[in-house]
Structure 1
Amino acid sequence: MHPYLKTAFILTLGCVATPLLGAEPHARRCVQERPAGSGDAEEPGSPPSPERSLRKLIKGTGFSASLIAAEPLISHPIALAWDERRRPWVACTGGNLFERRAPSEARDSIVVLEDSDGDGGLDRRIPFAEGLMGVRSFVLHRRGVIVAQSGSILGLQDDNGDGRSDQHTLLFDGFGPNAVIDDLVWGLDGWIYATHGVVGGGKAGATSDGVRNAREEKLDPIPNAVIRFRPEGSRLETISISETVPGGLDFGADGELFFSTSFGELRHVVLSEHNLRRGRIGKVTTWAGLVKQPLNGTQAGGGGDIFVGVGASLYSAGTWPSDYEDNCFTCDPVAGTVRRHLLRPRSVTFAASSRPESFLSSSDPWFRPIHLCTGPDGALYVIDYCLADDGEAGEGETGPGRIWRVDHDRAEPLPSLSLADAETSILISALEHPGAWHRRTSQRLLSERELTKDDLDGLVSAGRNALDGLGRVHVLWTLQDASTRRMQEVGRIMLRDFRPTVRANVLRAAASLDGWDAAMLRQRTFQLLGDSSPRVRLMALCALSGVFGKHMTSELLKMYRNAQSDWTRSAILAIAASSPVDFVELAFSSGDERLSSLVEALTERIGKRGDIAHAVELVRAGDRHDPQSPGMVAGSLTILGDRLDPELRVWSSPRLRSTLRNLLRSGSVEVAYAALPFAENWIREGELRSDIEALNDRVRESVADLEAASHVARPFLERLQNHKDEQIVQNAKQRLCELDALKSESGIQKP
């Protein structure tokens, strides 16, 4: 979670956000007030004891809570993960989050907690890494962790087996003092996903501009966004740009990605930035906003609604009653509560609704939940940063902090399975385990091993024979780094799986990886354009963008006509961009105005890229289909004329001259006028003079009186205000005013 989000409970939405290490003292006074008498500390300025805080927790119906760790065992905890030995690893900030610290005062740490005496309680703290600065999040990797700290991402490994990090590798550096990488989580695809936010600095839309990877290569600027990066530090990509600082981040069991924002909106990533760079209709974003639930409360110094969504966790542990499966839980440290959001598929994305009651809250004003994760036992673990209303979190390196375990009273125990030092065959079988932690941990451990041919055969066999859909999904992605060929082998089978989740993941893999058999993909994926699942159909479109065949054009245009979202339209645009004139011509011939946005987007691309060959073909297509679609043809030629550099020249062939003469004589004055720039720029001066003069006479007639103007489109009249003839300009302006007056009198709003 980003530092601005974690400090949101001391920075109201009206305050200026400042970077964590340079926060101004007055910022601490900007806090969320709680009702008087909501719970006092045992001593003024001190948090209640862990035992007393436990009694103050307010749980949802049917749930219980217990304490697993508190000060002094941990101090200022901020992130949590469980290793294959079922030990919790905890990132601790060695002091108040909001205090200034010089680099020489780096004292954050990552510690491992153990039960040393076997009584079931954590009582031993093993420092794995110390002397870190501004730690925010980490993931387990090989013999250590990959950790995000101030301005950089590090790989920390224990090479000699003493339980402490002794190898530090700089994976990415140069994020700057106002930027922090947070919310690290492994994706099914073997990349590490995270949030990136730039706060403070007094500049809207700020980016991290100086980031370099492990090879010292400078990367493109990174905005506020969900990102992903390779664990060896080679590549970093922007997945979903956010206009606000992104907050908590997690994957559903099916691989769908969700994140929350600093303004409390839960979002689903429908398509990646990579997908939309290939094709974007309108201003569609990569994400769908699912729910934004404000908290009625007051701020110090004034009233207002505040809601902060951080620390997202998708529950798929398989132990709680079924109505909790795939629920999303988010922390709101402003209100001191954990919220529960119910998700259900809707078209290519999801719909969400929030339960009106808090899932977990407290009458203790120090309760500040900031991080959630599911443990090996299927319970939900909540990190409580334990912060007072005045922003004080205790002094030095021994400040408060608790980790709570929340479980349902009717939780079903998971099958017992040890992953520590497990044989490869055990890890493969664990990919079908009902618990999400077991599945994800097994996949991570397998990806860290050098798999033999027998191991790969075992994975392929599991992919062929697995009864569980999620198990098949994990097998698929486990194979990606080991063998694309074997991954494709099971992918062929999984494309016929009856579960949409499995089919969608195969298509997602095919769209993101090179080396897949194009013929196989083209045949089977084309069939899946008619799949019953909207999400599968969308992923099929993404997979087809690299293996397009012209025989698909008609079916894709049919899909575009009936598409219910701009995400689907954008995915079709990405495919159509490889053969734009074929799509435009077929759209022209159909006369279906529902295809106008596709035609306009393809024309825009041709014009902006200065693609003169396709521009000439598009003009010829307009001539061939002018009678069927005069409005679409006029719109396309207008965009092409606006975007194409007038200095670009083409050979003035007799065929092109004939094409433009036909367009200048079109029965639609709008089509003829849209063709005028090409006649003036592409044909030698004088060769079409009589046709151009005749067109200007028609244009004058179109604005001569109100009756004539009522038969042409308003955009045409607006374009005439740039005409060379001053009289035409004045008449066009007058006709527009008259038309507006008529619409106003009749109660029709101006378009």
Structure 2
Amino acid sequence: MILWLGSMTGSMAAQDFIPRKQTMPPGPPLSPAEALSRMVVPEGFHVELVASEPDLQNPVAMAFDDAGRIYVTESFEYPRHEPGPGKDRIKILTDSDGDGKVDRVKVFAEGLNIPSGIAVGHGGVWVANAPDLLFLQDTDSDDVADQSTVVVTGFGRVDTHELPNALTWGPDGYLYGLNGVFNPSVIEQDGRKHEFTCAMFRIDPRTKKFEIFCEGTSNPWGIAFDSLGNSFVSACVIDHLWHLTESGYYLRQGGPYPPNTWWAESIVKHKHQMAAYCGIEFFDSHAYPEAYRNKLYMGNIHGGCINTDRVERSGASYQGFGEPDFLTANDVWFMPVAQKIGPDGCLYVLDWYDRYHCYQDASADPKGVDRGHGRLYRIVHSERPKPRYEDISKLTESELISALADPNLFVRQRSQLELAERKIAPGSATALELETLVNQAESLTTKLHAIWALSGSGALRESFLLSLLDHANPEVRAWAVRLAGDLFPSDPSIVARCRVLATDPDPRVLVQVAVAATKFHRAVPSTEAWIATELEIARHNAADPLADPILGRIVWQNLKPVANEARRAIVNQSLHSTSPSDSLLDSMLPRFAALWTDRLANSNFNEDQTEVIEDLFSLLEHFRKKSPNLATAILQPLVNRSLNRGFDPIELRKLVRKFYSPQDSIAWDKL
């Protein structure tokens, strides 16, 4: 209460200050009732207050547990840069009578320092508390954490509005999170060093193994997994919506790219208000009419609203399209930092509620920083069915399996996670029941949840996975390949079958084969097989190699580490292609040419380097009539090195004369 009253005093000193992205002073805060009265939602909906100050102050992140309770992190330290103990905490908010309003509040953990992400599962609470990611446990069931374990450490605090965030359980059983572009981080684990800025990471909850899933974007602050297990991310400053694929590298807001990066674009061409996003949720619940389902809802900080996008399949990725806003607050203090589907199927919106949306404003006017407000809302439709209030952790295994077909995505996800936590034995009655559900369920989403429950619980058998690799549905095949790379990378039968799928007609499957091929090589090194698999995929998409927005980039990212060893195979495949149009591989040849040229010495070419030049001119000869633009692009890296005095021009011309006629205009006009 002291913090709350203190914040009101500070707010009076900031009445004339105009924050960034605003056109006038924000004025005093509205009461919860006043804030509700100003909110606009579509016809048939209304907004309800679930919790507010003083029970809730400066909320940053939230997560539901199996009983439907809400764990919320609160930060009074923001934007503090120094690590170490702080005044921040985690609260458990409980609606004990099911009326939609919190009536019991318990402090679960204290002494934290900007806890920027939270997830509940596998026996505890996972908290991003930079530089650490913590695992908090309540061993005596009094709703107070009494044991804390550092899972990994090394997250930066250079920019405290880009801290690790959005801890979210993935369909594959991993815990996923994000980090921002201006927050350099270094995590060392088991002798391996992970250096990164903007990235999606994941952690195995059992082994605690940390991995970088993909890199790029800007200050991403929100992960949503859709009903098919695709990961979508909301980001700031640059485009707002991204579909992220493992091993991909995406457009960065700033900072250098690794050498020879072929970055991927966002999935949107439209913009909503401003460009500061926080939180995202894929909504799939029968609590709303059909027109509002299977949409992505995103918090727009500067816009003071909840934006809506729908997505449509585009090759192995998606394209996003803007739709009307789902909520408009009409209150500049409104800051929607997180959105989640609840046990009742409604969308919950966590509101930081502050006059200052950016840390720059806090630095410019520290007395005006609010420390005492915070709200939690839910958006309700008047005709929603009666919600179910069950503690998912108390369901039997058969009841949990039945819940995998529930119309509420929250119930499906938590039931799947609970099954994973129970460590089901392969071939057990529960495992066989899940296998039967995969084979007999009419709903694709039910099939997938059953597959994910098998894999997450350790009950996925090799023989059953082999059958999934031959499934008629490409989504199932794609997930089978992905799980093969994660769980069975050294199984000869599974690896062999996955490599056959390099000829699959569906790009969703091909993308996963490209990613898995690298994992197979790490488990059982075979550079030749790795290269052969990636090149087989690269034969695809001959009619329009750039039509798929992600496939070529994923193949490139996974082939790039062995591009020099693969040079002759790449050249031979291109030279002997019978396709009348460019293949996916052909479209990558200029990038390979740049990578190979980077390895050439400045002068006195040795035999290996001479062979590189010979291969480049072989490609040039092959494409100069078939595709002159491609031929020129293949030559361009060599030209650039020559123009920049990277090569001795006399030595280079001597070498070129061995392979090319001075009468040919393409080469000699350039060199």
TM-score, normalised to structure 2's length?
0.78
Please name the residue that 1:321 is paired with. Answer: 289
Give 3-state SS (helix, strand or coil) of 1:172's partner: strand
CA distance in 1, matches of 2:600, 2:106: 62
Which of the pair has more CA radius of gyration?
1
Does the alignment pair 1:588 with 2:575?
yes
Equivalences for residues 147-186 of structure 1 within 5 A = 147-179=127-159, 180-186=163-169
CA distance in 1, matches of 2:366, 2:70: 23
Give 3-state SS (helix, strand or coil) of 2:266's partner: strand
Does the alignment pair 1:383 with 2:363?
no
| 1:239 maps to which of 181, 190, 213 | 213
| 2:328 maps to which of 361, 385, 399 | 361
Deviations 1:132-189 (A, max 9, x none): 1111111002332110123221111111222211111112223233152111111112
Please name the residue that 2:479 is paired with. Answer: 505
Q: 1:477–1:674: structure 2 CA closer, same or farther, 3 Å change rule?
A: farther
Give 3-state SS (helix, strand or coil) of 2:575's partner: helix
2:188–2:194: 8 Å Cα contact kept in structure 1? no
CA distance in 1, matches of 2:16, 2:575: 60
Which stretches in structure 2 are left out of the alignment for 5+ residues? 1-13, 251-257, 521-528, 642-650
Please name the residue that 2:68 is paired with. Answer: 86
Q: 1:518–1:566: structure 2 CA closer, same or farther, 3 Å change rule?
A: farther
Please name the residue that 1:310 is paired with. Answer: 278
CA distance in 2, matches of 1:61, 1:534: 40
Which amino acid is the alignment partner of residue 59 of structure 1? Answer: V
Equivalences for residues 646-685 of structure 1 within 5 A = 676-677=654-655
Give 3-state SS (helix, strand or coil) of 1:376's partner: coil
Considering only aligned residues, what root-mean-square deviation do their CA atoms show, in Å?
4.3
2:301–2:337: 8 Å Cα contact kept in structure 1? yes
Which amino acid is the alignment partner of residue 425 of structure 1? Answer: S
Give 3-state SS (helix, strand or coil) of 2:263's partner: coil
CA distance in 2, matches of 1:131, 1:137: 15
Q: Tell me by how many angstroms 1:587 deviates.
A: 1.6
Does the alignment pair 1:146 with 2:123?
no
Does the alignment pair 1:464 with 2:431?
no
Q: 1:182–1:62: structure 2 CA closer, same or farther, 3 Å change rule?
A: same
Deviations 1:699-740 (A, max 9, x none): 4xx4xxxxxxxx501x53232xxxxxxxxxxxxxxxxxxxxx
Please name the residue that 1:406 is paired with. Answer: 379
Q: Tell me by how many angstroms 1:112 deviates.
A: 1.1
Please name the residue that 2:185 is paired with. Answer: 208
| 1:345 maps to which of 313, 317, 326 | 313
CA distance in 1, matches of 2:397, 2:233: 33
Does the alignment pair 1:30 with 2:19?
yes
Q: Tell me by how many angstroms 1:234 deviates.
A: 4.1
Give 3-state SS (helix, strand or coil) of 1:288's partner: coil
Please name the residue that 2:451 is paired with. Answer: 476
Please name the residue that 2:53 is paired with. Answer: 71
2:314–2:548: 8 Å Cα contact kept in structure 1? no
| 1:221 maps to which of 184, 189, 195 | 195
1:72–1:398: 8 Å Cα contact kept in structure 2? no
CA distance in 2, matches of 1:439, 1:469: 13
Q: Tell me by how many angstroms 1:327 deviates.
A: 0.9
Please name the residue that 1:257 is paired with. Answer: 231
2:83–2:131: 8 Å Cα contact kept in structure 1? no
2:353–2:374: 8 Å Cα contact kept in structure 1? yes
Please name the residue that 2:302 is paired with. Answer: 334
Q: 1:516–1:51: structure 2 CA closer, same or farther, 3 Å change rule?
A: same
| 1:431 maps to which of 397, 404, 408 | 404
2:166–2:222: 8 Å Cα contact kept in structure 1? yes
Q: Tell me by how many angstroms 1:71 deviates.
A: 1.5
Which amino acid is the alignment partner of residue 581 of structure 1? Answer: R
Q: Tell me by how many angstroms 1:89 deviates.
A: 1.4
1:262–1:308: 8 Å Cα contact kept in structure 2? yes
Q: Tell me by how many angstroms 1:218 deviates.
A: 6.4
Please name the residue that 2:268 is paired with. Answer: 290
Q: Tell me by how many angstroms 1:617 deviates.
A: 7.5
Percentage identity across aligned positions? 22
Q: Tell me by how many angstroms 1:258 deviates.
A: 1.3
Give 3-state SS (helix, strand or coil) of 2:125's partner: strand
**Count of aligned residue pairs for this structure pair:** 609
Q: Tell me by how many angstroms 1:225 deviates.
A: 2.1
Q: Tell me by how many angstroms 1:601 deviates.
A: 4.2
CA distance in 1, matches of 2:331, 2:249: 46
1:637–1:675: 8 Å Cα contact kept in structure 2? no
Please name the residue that 1:203 is paired with. Answer: none
Q: Tell me by how many angstroms 1:426 deviates.
A: 2.3
Q: Tell me by how many angstroms 1:522 deviates.
A: 4.5
Q: Tell me by how many angstroms 1:375 deviates.
A: 0.4
Please name the residue that 1:535 is paired with. Answer: 508
CA distance in 1, matches of 2:244, 2:301: 27
Which stretches in structure 1 are left out of the alignment for 5+ residues? 1-24, 200-205, 296-305, 644-672, 679-690, 703-710, 720-751
CA distance in 1, matches of 2:307, 2:123: 34
Give 3-state SS (helix, strand or coil) of 1:253's partner: coil
| 2:665 maps to which of 684, 687, 712 | 712
Q: Tell me by how many angstroms 1:81 deviates.
A: 1.2
